[in-house]
A and B are shown apart, each in its own frame.
Chain A
Amino acid sequence: MKRPPIIPLILPFLFLTSISSAAKPSPLPPLTGFTAADMPGDAGGAALLRWNAVGGAAEGATMEVYASDTARPGWVKIAEFPAAERTEKDMDLPFWAWRPAPGRHALAADTSSAFGRPDEAQEIEFKLRLVKGGASVETAPVKVVIGGNWFNVSRFNNLVLMLTIIIVFFWTVSHAKRKGLFIRRIAGLDAIDEAIGRATEMGRPIYYSTGIGPMSLVPTIASTSILGEVARKVAQYDTSLKVPHFDPIVMTVCKEVVKQSYLEMERPDSYRDDINFFVSQDQFSFAASVDAMIHREKPAACFFIGHFMAESLLLAEVGATTGAIQIAGTEQESQLPFFFTSCDYTLIGEELYAAGAYLSKDPMLMSTLKVQDFGKAFVMLAVVTGSVLLAAGAVFGWEPLMRIVGQLFKAY
C-alpha cells in the first residue's frame, strides 16, 4: 500500500492561510516622529514630547504616555488623553518660545508626581501608546535628561518690561536735580499740617496707625515714610504722638523712623520710646484696643494710613465721634468707601506711594513719580492698542494677530 502524499496535501492549506493573514489590514498606524527633550524654562521634572499626527486613526483612540526613571526601572502611566488632542498649536507657550509645526502633537509631560523633582537632573525614558478598541501600538522608548533651567523664556515679555521700567527709573533719578516737578495737589497730604497744628493748639494727642499689614507690604512701607514726615512736624511743635502697632516688626522699624525724625529736628529730649507700642496681632483685638484709647483720650487728629481690612470702619467711626480730624489712606478698595464716609481726607491707592515724595519735596523722590506716570501711560496705551488690534483681528479673522497680541500681554 502506497502512503498518501502529505506535502502536496499540506501545501495548499499553508498557502490559503498565508493569503488570509496577508489580506487582514493592520488596525493602527505606527507612531512616527516621536522625540523627547527637556522642557525649556521650567523648574525640572518635565519633558517636551512631540510626535506626528496619526490622521483618521485618532478618532475614538486614546494616547497613553508612559515614563520610566532609568535609576528605578518600571513604566508608570503619567498621562492619558484623546489622541486627537494636544496638538502643537494647543501648547500654552508664547510665540517667542514656541513655533508649532502643522500635523504634529506636543505634550509637556510632568513626571514630578511619579518620580518627584530632585534638585539634580534625572534621566527618564518615555514612550507613547496609541490605544483603540482592543488594538494598540507603541513607540520605541526614548531617553532624555530633564532638569531645571536657568531662564524661563516664557517670561521674556515681563523681563523686557521690568528692564524698561528700571531704565526709566534710573533716567528720572539721574535727571532729578532739574527744574521742579509739578505734582497735583493732594488734599489729604496738605491737611497734615492743619491736623498737627490743631492738635498742638488743643493740647491733645495725635494717633497714627500704620494698619495691620506686615512690613513686606508696600502700603506699610509707604505709611512709615509718611510717619517720618508727621513725626518731624510733631517734634517741631512738641505735640504728643501715639503710634499703636499690630505688627512687632513694623513697630521696630517705626521706632527708628520716629527717633530719626526727632533727632533731625534736634528734639532728642522730647522723644520717648513708648511713642510706638505694640497692641495685639489679632485684628479685632487691635481695633478694640485702639478704639478704647481714642475714645478715652479724644485725640485731635487721627491718621489711618496703610493696609486695613474690616477694622477700618471701627477705627474711623470712633475717631469721627470724638471730633478728631481724620486722614486715611489704604490700597484696599473694599475699605476706601468706609474711609471716605468717616474721614475728612482720604488718600486712594497710589496717592499713598506718592506721599513720601510729596511731603519731603526731595528731588530724587519726586523724580521717581515720573516712573509711575510712565507706567500708567504705558498701560493705557497698551490697553487701547491691544483692544483695537484684537477687535480688528476678530472682525477680519486675523487669528495670528490675535494670538500674538494675546500672548504679548499675558503673564506666563
Chain B
Amino acid sequence: MKNALEKFLKIDRRLIFLALTVLLFAPIVRPLGLPNKNLGKDVVNTYNYIEALPERSFVMLSLDYDPATRPELHPQAVALVKHALRRNLRVGIFTLNAGATGMIEDIAARIPKDIAPDKVYGRDYVIMPFQPNPVAVMTQLGINLYEIYDKDRNGNPTKDMEVMKGVKSVKDMGLGICITGTAMLDYYVAYVADKYKFPMAGGVTAVSQPGYGPYLQTGQLKGLIGGMKGAADYETLINDLEKGTSGIDALSLAHVLVIVLILTSNIIMLVLKYL
C-alpha cells in the first residue's frame, strides 16, 4: 500500500491533464446549469455605476486584449456593450492593442444583429481605429481627442458625428472602462483617471485581479470585472446569460478537481508520514 501511495504522489502529470480535459469537456457537451448567486462586489459596483449614469452619457470602452485572453475578456466586453447600449448611453469603442481589432470587428458585427439592433452607428456608438503609443494617446484623450481620433475606423470624420456631440475629451465623458490582459489598466489609472479626475473601471484576467485591490480601495477604480466569473456575474446582472455563464460549469469542475488533488496529495503525505 505504501508503494501505491508513493506512486500516486508521483503520478504522471499527463493523467492529471486527462482528468482535467474530461472535466472541462463534459459540461460543455452537457451543461450543469449551476446557479451563479454570489456576485462579486466590484462587479456589482461597475454595474451600479453604469446604471446611475444619465441617459446619453458617453462611455469610453477601451478594448485592449488580444486573442489569447478572448475567452475571459471578450464576454466581459460584450456584456458591457450590451448594458451600455440598452441603457441608452453613447458608446465609444477604442483600442490601443493591435491584436484586439479582430474582436472589435466581432462586436461591431453583432451590435446590429442581436446586441442592440435599434442602435445606429454614428448616432449611438462609434468605433475608433487602433492607435499605437498608449501614453501619448492617453495624454491627448484628456485634452482634445480629435487630435488623434479625427476619423473613425472606416475613415469617417468623428467631430461632427451625433454620438460625439459635446465630447471633446475625457472630461466630457461619463465613464471609462479598460478591458485588458496586460498592464494597460495601470496606465489608464495613472495617465487618465488620476490626471484628469476621470472615473475609470476595469476588466481584467482572473490572475491579475488581486493586484488591483489598492486601486479599488483608494477609489481610483470605480469597479473591476475579473475573469470569466466576473463576466458571468455581469451577465447575471444584465439578465443576459452568454459565454461567460456557460464557461462557469467547466470552471467549477476544474476548481473542484484542483481541490481534490491538493487534499488527496496532503492526505497521502500524512498517511505516509505516520504509516
Contacts and interface: CB of A to CB of B under 8 A. Distances in A.
Answer whether A and B touch in the complex at a CB cut-off of 8 Å: yes
Interface string B165-186: 0001101100000000110000
Nearest to B190: A411
B264 interface: no
A74 B181 CA distance: 47
A112 B68 contact: no
Contact of A334 (B69, B99, B208): B208
B171 A310 contact: no
A282 B13 CA distance: 28
Given A113-B169, A117-B143, A284-B68, A309 B182 contact: yes
A13 to B, nearest CB: 52
Given A283-B66, A283-B68, A110 B144 contact: no
Given A113-B172, A284-B68, A310 B181 contact: yes
Contact of B169 (A112, A310, A321): A112
A310 B143 contact: no
B80 to A, nearest CB: 22
Question: Which one of A110, A116, A117, A334 has the highest number of Cβ atoms from chain B below 10 Å of its Cβ?
Answer: A334
A333 interface: yes
B210 A334 contact: yes
A117 B66 CA distance: 35
A112 B66 CA distance: 34
A116 to B, nearest CB: 7
A333 B168 contact: no
A42 to B, nearest CB: 12
Nearest to A411: B194
Interface string B190-229: 0000000000000001011011000000000000000000
B211 A334 contact: yes
A63 B32 CA distance: 58
Contacts of B210: 334
A284 B144 CA distance: 35
A309 B205 CA distance: 11
Interface string A107-121: 000101100110000
Contacts of A282: 66, 99
A326 to B, nearest CB: 17
Interface in B41-89: 66, 68-69
Nearest to B205: A310
A128 B172 CA distance: 21
A334 B181 CA distance: 12
Contact of B168 (A113, A310, A321, A334): A113
A310 B182 CA distance: 9
Nearest to B209: A334
A309 B143 CA distance: 32
Nearest to A43: B143
A310 B70 CA distance: 14
Interface in A108-142: 110, 112-113, 116-117
B239 to A, nearest CB: 32
B66 A116 contact: no
A311 to B, nearest CB: 9
Given A112-B143, A113-B172, A309-B182, 14 more contacts: A110-B171, A112-B169, A113-B171, A116-B144, A117-B144, A282-B66, A282-B99, A283-B66, A283-B68, A284-B68, A310-B68, A310-B181, A334-B207, A334-B208
8 contacts: A117-B143, A282-B66, A310-B68, A310-B181, A310-B205, A321-B13, A334-B208, A334-B210
